[in-house]
Amino acid sequence: MRVLLTGHQGYLGTVMAPVLTAAGHEVTGLDAGLFADCVLGPAPADPPGTRVDLRDVTADHVAGVDAVIHLAALSNDPLGALAPELTYDINHHASVRLAKLARDAGVRRFLYASTCSVYGAAGGDELVAEDAPLRPVTPYAESKVRVEDDLHALADDDFSPVYMRNATAFGFSPRLRADIVLNNLVGHALLSGEVLVLSDGTPWRPLVHAADIARAFTAALEAPREAVHDRAFNIGSETNNVTVAEIAQQVADAVDGSKVVITGETGADPRSYRVDFSRFREAIPGFDCAWTVKRGALELADAYRTHGLTREAFEQRFTRLAVLRAASDAGTVDDTLRWRS
């Protein structure tokens, strides 16, 4: 299939593009390139792509495409808190616009990168499945709920949106992020010897490796229409339904000489959800996630050591909010996060 992959120069997109290509798909990227230089190790070989802001996409960008995989977004809660209105402009309005252009151009499948954080304050130890009430607690998560709703209204016989509600990602990507929980804790452990948890460690935070997300999207792309049409899927595995304190312990086990420190200074985190991932396994027989948290922690520790993680890179280059603040302070992006020409 000819696949347009938005966000191909992000953390997940950089892992997903080669997986799609290896599966025989013809991949074209589309990305503003906000984090294109956030590289750990050798520079990745990107597929052919266009540097364009999602808000400026035109019909030309989706012409001749069979499927869109839409990852591009302001991708976490701190970015959403920085500028909620920008989060809604980019994540919500521009995403729905892209989907309308795609549908008008005859694109048949639209895989949308949603998130398990749509369950937000689910609380408790019960597993939440896709039909659980959505209780987003941040503008980021709310933007994802709004897109799912609006894409649902676009679904018809010729256009199949699919809502891929990913657990929190972890693992190595050539374009790293250290502002997601496991990647962050492994970095802290290596740099300071402490696995530093600022919350009380109790919230449930299901995890999934970036490579498993890439395999899941590829499977959803190739699945029969009736298996995925207009459906939401939690992407991850019950094995990796873990509390933040458990994640911290796995990290301490993976990084010799490190120890867990739970300060509790930010109190109880309202974002807590324990997730049922069975629907995707039933829709895609044979699919399961391959990566455990422990193996991911070992992989990351190895990658950080091999490529020489510095404190500066950890706190600046691999932290999305810090990168955008630095670009804004340097005047390379304006206050709507568009590049200044």
Give residues in contact with ligand NAD (CB under 6 A): 7, 9-13, 31-35, 53-55, 71-75, 90, 113, 115, 166, 168-169, 177, 180, 320
Minimum separation from the CB atom of position 299 to ligand NAD (A)? 16
Instruction: Assign 3-state DSSP to the chain and report helix, strand, coil percentages, each to 5.
Output: 45, 20, 35
In the chain, count H helices and then E strands.
13, 13
Closer residue to ligand NAD, CB minimum distance, 261 or 326:
326
How many Å apart are CA 53 and CA 245, to the nearest integer?
38
How many Å apart are CA 66 and CA 102, to the nearest integer?
9
Minimum separation from the CB atom of position 305 to ligand NAD (A)? 22
Closer residue to ligand NAD, CB minimum distance, 119 or 287:
119
Closer residue to ligand NAD, CB minimum distance, 6 or 264:
6
Strand partners, 160: 109
**What's the gap between Cα 145 and its chain centre?**
15
Minimum separation from the CB atom of position 226 to ligand NAD (A)? 25
Q: What one-character DSSP code corresponds to residue 158?
A: T
Contact 279, 130 (CB under 8 A): yes
How many Å apart are CA 249 and CA 164, to the nearest integer?
29
Closer residue to ligand NAD, CB minimum distance, 166 or 249:
166
- The residue nearest ligand NAD at its CB is 10
Minimum separation from the CB atom of position 320 to ligand NAD (A)? 5
How many Å apart are CA 266 and CA 129, to the nearest integer?
28
Q: What one-character DSSP code corresponds to residue 266?
A: E
| Interior angle at CA 7, CA 314 and CA 11, nearest 5 | 30
Minimum separation from the CB atom of position 158 to ligand NAD (A)? 24
Look at residues 23, 14, 5, 19 and name the one whose alpha carbon lies nearest to residue 62.
5
Closer residue to ligand NAD, CB minimum distance, 7 or 47:
7
How many Å apart are CA 225 and CA 109, to the nearest integer?
8
Closer residue to ligand NAD, CB minimum distance, 317 or 320:
320
Minimum separation from the CB atom of position 31 to ligand NAD (A)? 5
CA distances from 340 to 10, 32, 68, 85, 335 (A): 20, 12, 27, 20, 10
Minimum separation from the CB atom of position 208 to ligand NAD (A)? 8
Look at residues 10, 82, 79, 17 and name the one whose alpha carbon lies nearest to residue 46.
17
Closer residue to ligand NAD, CB minimum distance, 35 or 233:
35
Closer residue to ligand NAD, CB minimum distance, 217 or 287:
217
Look at residues 217, 219, 242, 220 and name the one whose alpha carbon lies nearest to residue 296.
242
Closer residue to ligand NAD, CB minimum distance, 109 or 165:
165
How many Å apart are CA 314 and CA 220, to the nearest integer?
33
Minimum separation from the CB atom of position 274 to ligand NAD (A)? 16
Minimum separation from the CB atom of position 193 to ligand NAD (A)? 26
